[in-house]
Amino acid sequence: MTKNEIKALISLLDDRDNEVATYVEKQIVHLGEGIIPFLEEEWEETLNADLQKKIEDLIHNLQFGGLLQRLKTWKETGAENLLEGMWLVNSYLYPDVEFASINKTIDQLYFDAWTQMKEEMHPYDQVKALNNVLFREKRFTANTKNFHSPANSMLHLVLESKRGNPLTLCVLYMTLAQRLDMPVYGVNLPNLFILTYKLDGMQFYINVYNKGLILSKSDIDNYILQLDLNPMDIFYEPCSNLEIVKRALRNLAFSFEKMDDPEKATEVMKLLTAITDEDPVV
């Protein structure tokens, strides 16, 4: 469709004939995310509050549909880039935040951490050096005051505020560690996401939420015992990027539930379903 044809179509959104308006909405949805700039232009030009609300809903639905498809594609192509997966989670609330912007901030943190690394460092010393950069120099810390805020699941806000939940802080830490050639991976503990350093028979754990505190297997054993759970491999061994993004979505859905926003919680669960083995909820 030409630009004029698209604008003419959008102008019919507030047609008094409901059948016409409904048909137009379906046509707009069919055209996909590419029509969003035209919808935004119409929103700015109209003084009709009802039409503005209809346009806002259409834009959200178009963005949500596009995000759902991108998440599925990310999973189906191997879920190799964890940062991309977390950026997609970020896109639910902030669709205009660019992946390149997040990457640029990570690149700067990586450079600052790289300058602290020396050849042949012991793994503990590597962790301490990265801890020093993130928690002392850059002052990243746990967001204990607003633990259930959806902002804690938004990576770009965590990078800006330097406050996050266990998962987002671990994603940041792990991303930097792996770029520094450190064998650091995520571990799906109940109620707490941590990291493990695992290489050639050597393994220990890192509690990023507690400023990179180094833990032993015995510490994990005691934690599991306190929760009255049976030890399982999943509590000790690295998990996949896909599992990390699933947990991020569960965290976000739970945040919206705590904020009494069931509509957003339901939408986030649809995103989660899209990257599981079942068909997406519709």
pLDDT in tens, 60-116: 989 999 999 999 999 999 999 999 999 999 999 999 999 999 999 999 999 999 999
According to DSSP H, which parts of the chain are helical? 3-11, 18-31, 36-45, 49-76, 82-91, 99-114, 123-131, 155-161, 166-179, 217-226, 241-258, 262-274
Sketch the domain layout of the chain as residue ranges. 3-76, 82-274
Task: Kindly tell me if the per-residue pLDDT of 204 is higher than 90.
Answer: yes
pLDDT (average), residues 252-269? 96
Taking the model in full, what pTM does it have? 0.89
Per-residue pLDDT tens digits for 122-133? 999 999 999 999
Alpha-carbon distance of 268 to 193, in angstroms, equals: 20
- Report the percentage of the chain scoring pLDDT > 70: 98
- Tell me the C-alpha distance between 156 and 164, whole Å: 10
